[in-house]
Amino acid sequence: MKKNILVKSKSIWGFLLLLVLAAGCTAPRAVINSGKVTAPGQFKAGINFGGNVATEPIGQLDDIAKATVDAISKKDSVYYDNEIETATKALLAYALDPVGPTFDFYLRYGLAPRVDVGYKFASGVHVFDTQYQFMGPTGTPENPGVGDWYGSIGLQYAGQSSDWIDNLFLDKLQPVLQFTAKRKDITVPIIFSKSFGPEEETGSIAFGAVYNHTFIKYGFDPGDLFKKAGGEVDKVNPLMEKNSFGSYGFFVNAKFGFKYIYILPALTVYYQNYGDYKLLNNATHSFSGMTFIPSIGLQASFGGGSRR
């Protein structure tokens, strides 16, 4: 009994350590904007801290023990078995939805009365987006318009490669599995918000729906991985595949402050059916699950602009 409790305790602590080490690079899908775009000629700059908690990769990573990874990585030659298949699923699941803490900083600029643009750098991921405001005034606290409800639609693009795996103990599997992945994400949020004070002078509360579409190209190019079939020993063939999947979600966020400095708490939730994926040795697996993205940030507004 005590032995089982000790084993479970070590497993839990090992998994928590994995999450800490997985400070990763995931496409920033948290929605932190309100329905009001940046006023023309003004800038917004900020930093954001959060976490990407995805049920499917957490389940896959929990199935693979660090001891197993160490054992596989130290062998001169490895034969394909259930442990190897579990490792390939864990790597792929992590690429589909990296788990761990996130950090980004961003800059937005008011391009026109109802349009702003932004750039975000998130742990090696470059993100570009724009937002169009279809409802509500477009003034400033100094020169406010009429109304305190806003609505907008956004479009965001992010691209990344598999370099984020380097922060995990899973990188020890690279000499055996040679896993690579590249992904591109398109995110479209529809945002409604209620202003606190004229033109969000003291903040806002926002909510809405969001759709994200991910395009992924992944592959395994194992050099020293073998399989036994009918008494023969052969190398496992490499694999390169493409796939894509949609994620549907909702969000709520808030902004608290005064005129120029604000705190931004937010929560974004997605559900996705990642689809069916080919693995080595003609294996396949289906992935699906929920993703929770809590975040908190600090934002500053500056610059001119007073048109409505």
Per-residue pLDDT of the chain (308 residues; tens, 9 = 90+): 444 444 444 444 444 444 444 445 566 889 999 999 999 999 999 999 999 899 988 887 766 666 566 656 666 567 777 778 888 888 888 888 888 888 899 999 999 999 999 999 987 789 999 999 999 999 888 888 899 999 999 999 998 765 545 545 566 677 778 888 888 999 999 999 999 999 999 999 999 999 999 999 999 888 777 777 666 777 888 899 999 999 999 999 999 998 889 999 999 999 999 999 999 888 899 999 999 999 999 999 988 654 44
Tell me if 86 is assigned to some domain. Answer: yes
Secondary structure (DSSP) of 289-304 = EEEEEEEEEEEEEEE-
Q: Which is it for strands 225-229 and 78-79: parallel, antiparallel or unpaired?
A: parallel
Contacts of 102 (CB under 8 A, 6+ apart): 24, 26, 28, 30, 48, 49, 50, 51, 52, 122, 123, 293, 295
Q: Where are the beta strands (DSSP E) in the chain?
A: 42-54, 78-79, 100-112, 115-122, 125-135, 149-160, 179-196, 203-220, 225-229, 232-235, 239-258, 261-278, 284-303
Within a domain: 31: no
Does residue 193 lie within any of the structural domains? yes
Establish if 34 belongs to a structural domain.
no
Q: For 9, left (φ over 0), alpha (ψ -120 to 50), or beta?
A: alpha
Task: Tell me the whole-structure pTM to 2 decimals.
Answer: 0.84
Is there a domain that residue 122 lies in? Answer: yes
Instruction: Count the domains in the chain.
Output: 1
Residues of the domain holding 178: 2-23+39-303
Q: In the numeric block, which tokens belong to residue 289?
A: 């699950």
Cα atoms in the 13 Å half-sphere on the side-chain side of 169: 21
284 assigned to some structural domain: yes
b/e per residue 100-131 (b: at least 16 CB within 10 A) = bbbbbebebbbeebbbbbbebebbebebebbb
CATH of the domain at 185: 2.40.128
